[in-house]
Amino acid sequence: MQQTRRSERFPPIPSKATISVKDMTITVNGVATGKVQIPVVSGNGQFAAVAEVTVTEAGAAG
């Protein structure tokens, strides 16, 4: 089976948020206001989803 590099599977995420993954936890931190779509795929590739996150200014009601 041919390995696919991460950059080939998912386009780069605009600088609206940074993402880190540890075990089963994904942490998203806002960098700039706007919307960002974050694709996630299970380790075995069986499940996939896209989370849309809206980054607002600090202290803004959302």
DSSP string, the chain: -----HHHHSPPPPTTEEEEEETTEEEEEE-SSEEEEEEEE-TTSS-EEEEEEEE--TT---
50 versus 10: the higher-pLDDT residue is 50
Residue 24: CB atoms within 10 Å: 6
Residues 5-29: tens digit of each pLDDT: 555 555 665 578 888 888 888 888 8
User: What pLDDT, on a 0 to 100 scale, did the predictor assign at position 50?
Assistant: 92
- Of 54 and 10, the one with more pLDDT: 54
Average pLDDT, the chain: 78
Domains of the chain: 6-55 (2.60.40.1080)
Q: What is the reported pLDDT for 47?
A: 94
